[in-house]
Amino acid sequence: MNELPAPLRPEIASLETSRIQQVFDLGFGRKDLIALWVGEGDQPTPAFICDAASDAMKAGKTFYTHKHGIPELREAIAAYTSELYDIDCAAERVSLTCSGMSGIMMVLQAMVGAGDNVVVVTPVWPNIMSAIQIAGGVVRAVQLDGLPDGGFKLDLDRLAGALDERTRAIFIASPGNPTGWIMSREEQHTVLEMCRDKGIWMIADEVYARFIFDGQETGRRAAPSFLEISEPEDPLIVVNSFSKAWAMTGWRMGWLITPPSFIETLGRLIEFNTSGAPHFQQYACLTAIRDGEDYVHETVERCRRGGELVFQRLSALPRVRIARPMGAFYAFFGVEGLSDSLAYAKQILEETNIGLAPGSAFGPGGEGHMRLCFASSTARLSEALDRLEPILSKPL
Ligand SMILES: Cc1ncc(COP(=O)(O)O)c(C=O)c1O
């Protein structure tokens, strides 16, 4: 291979290929593969959303837009957020981004420089750790404690102890990918207070906010949000996305809610990163958020059924440790004696044609686990479980 003409920044040269990608590469193009390694469901975007995009495209909505998005969509997201959490969220705080990932990247560009660190609750979606590295920062992982029943818990003292004078932000995804762990209201209060006190940012990834499975009992339609306990000028950025709740992973659309005083800075970053989100897609997002509530409800219910099936079947296996999924759409289960989850993911792929993500991909606290995405039909999941049960029952 030819040498690159110029040296890369060390942060970029040392970026690892994601371990999920490594398993994916091995499985690419296989016949009869059931891929449960990625973070998306098995359903395409519903027609009413696609129609809104094609109508908008045909109506000439094909130009650059305001860098924070078309006003109607910012208003609609503010109204959705206000209604969902019974708060008053101003449209001026809402900014459209080309995916949740792009939003995270810009936020990190704004606050992290060489030698700074971000305290991240792990196991976490690996892109977060890479994004911090790309920005020149250092990841300070605070790993969730694994509970005997397979659940997870955050040690707030350890979180506080990880902060130092170079900490620019705390990053927490709740509901979490891969664990499905949901942060409590009390924990949010404590962490927000830490951020206020130390003058650091709280980056709250609420991409899976709608995926909670105890809504029937609690009457809630979303996991507790930092937005419910904060003031507009708190050092809080909330990341959200159209990807999961509206089955729009391929559209690359998301949004941020920020303090009013940050929005100007974010606007500059949007200008120089993407120059704004695609025009006609914003109309599809408008339809999704205004008319998609029934769809979101059905999607979450489908995931609840999928999660319950996976839990029932896997918890019956003596070598598997799994808690009933509470949020997001992943089973993150421990396997007795497992110490190399990447090799195990490859073995499972070879022997069963089932694609799982290795726990080690998700940083400290992930090894010893496997992640299975259950945003699928129960028929597809049942077939996958039939194939997985024998291998998960064999000693390692
Ligand atoms: C925790 C978490 N945050 C953010 C994202 C970003 O989603 P997207 O870039 O598709 O909007 C994902 C995607 O898997 C995720 O799992």
Ligand 1 mean position to 34 CA, how many Å?
21
Same domain, 214 and 348: no
DSSP track, 36-94: --SSS-SSPPPHHHHHHHHHHHHTT--S---TT--HHHHHHHHHHHHHHHTS---GGGE
Alpha carbons 77 and 234: distance in angstroms, whole number? 20
Alpha carbons 221 and 296: distance in angstroms, whole number? 10
Percent above pLDDT 90 for the chain:
94
Which pLDDT does position 2 carry in this prediction?
60
* Cβ-proximal residues to 31 (8 Å cutoff; 6+ apart), any chain: none
100-122 pLDDT tens trace: 999 999 999 999 999 999 999 99
Same domain, 135 and 258: yes
Ligand 1 mean position to 249 CA, how many Å?
9
Which pLDDT does position 7 carry in this prediction?
84
Q: Which of 322, 363, 389, 383 minimizes the C-alpha distance to 150? A: 322
Q: What's the start-to-end Cα distance of the chain, in Å?
A: 39
Better-scored residue on pLDDT, 76 or 9? 76
pTM score, two decimals? 0.96
Same domain, 127 and 237: yes
Same domain, 227 and 361: no
Which pLDDT does position 215 carry in this prediction?
87
Same domain, 170 and 83: yes
Same domain, 238 and 311: no
Alpha carbons 187 and 223: distance in angstroms, whole number? 13
Same domain, 204 and 306: no
Does ligand 1 lie within 6 Å of residue 41's CB atom?
no
DSSP track, 291-317: H-HHHHHHHHHHHHHHHHHHHHHHHTS
In a domain, 200, yes or no: yes
In a domain, 112, yes or no: yes
In a domain, 59, yes or no: no
Look at residues 262, 292, 322 and tell me which one is the last residue of a structural domain.
292
Which pLDDT does position 79 carry in this prediction?
98
CATH of the domain at 329: 3.90.1150.10
In a domain, 379, yes or no: yes
Does ligand 1 lie within 6 Å of residue 277's CB atom?
no
Place 203 in a pLDDT band, splitting at 50, 70 and 90: very high
Same domain, 252 and 358: no
Does ligand 1 lie within 6 Å of residue 173's CB atom?
yes
Look at residues 228, 259, 292 and tell me which one is the last residue of a structural domain.
292
> How far, CA to CA in Å, does 158 sit from each of 155, 162, 174, 219, 254?
5, 6, 18, 32, 31
Same domain, 315 and 259: no
Which pLDDT does position 210 carry in this prediction?
98
In a domain, 53, yes or no: no
Element (DSSP H or E) covering residue 334: strand 330-335
Which pLDDT does position 16 carry in this prediction?
86
In a domain, 50, yes or no: no
pLDDT at 329 over 80: yes
Average pLDDT of span 266-274 = 97
Does ligand 1 lie within 6 Å of residue 249's CB atom?
yes
Which pLDDT does position 92 carry in this prediction?
98
- Strand 167-173 and strand 201-205: pairing? parallel
Q: Which residue range is the domain that position 318 belongs to?
A: 10-45+294-393
Look at residues 271, 292, 313 and tell me which one is the last residue of a structural domain.
292
In a domain, 21, yes or no: yes
* Cβ-proximal residues to 207 (8 Å cutoff; 6+ apart), any chain: 100, 173, 177, 239, 240, 241, 243, 244, 254
Same domain, 126 and 238: yes
Better-scored residue on pLDDT, 319 or 28? 319
> For residue 100, which atom of ligand 1 is closest to its CA?
11
In a domain, 367, yes or no: yes
Ligand 1 mean position to 29 CA, how many Å?
24
Q: Please, where are the H alpha helices in the chain?
A: 10-13, 19-27, 47-58, 71-85, 100-111, 126-134, 156-162, 185-198, 215-218, 263-273, 279-291, 293-315, 341-352, 378-393
Does ligand 1 lie within 6 Å of residue 39's CB atom?
yes
pLDDT at 27 over 60: yes
Domain count, the chain: 2
Does ligand 1 lie within 6 Å of residue 177's CB atom?
yes
Which pLDDT does position 216 carry in this prediction?
87
Same domain, 304 and 283: no
CATH of the domain at 223: 3.40.640.10
CB 258 within 8 A of CB 266: yes
Lowest mean pLDDT of 15-29, 35-49, 100-114, 180-194, name the range: 15-29
Place 6 in a pLDDT band, splitting at 50, 70 and 90: confident
CB 212 within 8 A of CB 223: yes
Average pLDDT of span 234-247 = 98
342-387 pLDDT tens trace: 999 999 999 999 999 999 999 999 999 999 999 999 999 999 999 9
Same domain, 281 and 323: no
